[in-house]
C-alpha cells in the first residue's frame, strides 16, 4: 500500500509495479472519478491486464486484473 502527498510520484510507482508483471491482481484507489478516469487512460496500454472499473465486471482468468475504484466502490 502506498499513501503519499501530491507530487510524490505515486502514478509512476503504480506504472512500474504494473510493468513488472509480478502481480496477478492490482487494486488502485483514487479519490475522485476524474482521477480514476485519468488513471484508466494511462493504464490501458498494459495489454497483460484487464482494467476493471465497475464492480459488475468479471475478472480475467487469462490476464492479470487492475481494479480501478474510488474508496466507496472498494467497500
pLDDT per position as a tens digit, 45-66 = 999 999 999 989 999 999 999 9
**Banded pLDDT at 9 (limits 50, 70, 90):** confident
Q: How far apart are CA 49 and CA 26, in angstroms?
A: 9
**Over 80: is that where the pLDDT of 27 sits?**
yes
Q: How far separated are the first and last CA of the chain, in Å rounded?
A: 16
Question: What residue spans of 1-75 are helical by DSSP H?
Answer: 10-19, 33-43, 71-74
Each domain of the chain, given as residue ranges in start order, spans 22-74
Contacts of residue 40, defined as CB under 8 A and 6 or more positions apart, other chains included, come to 51, 53, 68
Reported confidence tier of residue 41, pLDDT bands at 50, 70, 90: very high
Give the residue from 5, 69, 75 showing the smallest Cα distance to 31.
69
Amino acid at each position: 500500500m502506498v499513501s503519499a502527498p501530491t507530487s510524490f510520484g505515486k502514478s509512476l510507482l503504480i506504472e512500474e509495479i504494473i510493468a513488472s508483471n509480478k502481480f496477478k491482481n492490482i487494486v488502485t484507489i483514487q479519490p475522485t472519478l476524474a482521477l480514476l478516469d485519468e488513471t484508466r487512460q494511462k493504464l490501458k496500454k498494459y495489454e497483460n491486464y484487464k482494467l476493471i472499473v465497475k464492480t459488475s465486471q468479471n475478472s480475467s482468468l487469462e490476464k492479470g486484473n487492475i481494479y480501478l475504484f474510488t474508496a466507496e466502490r472498494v467497500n
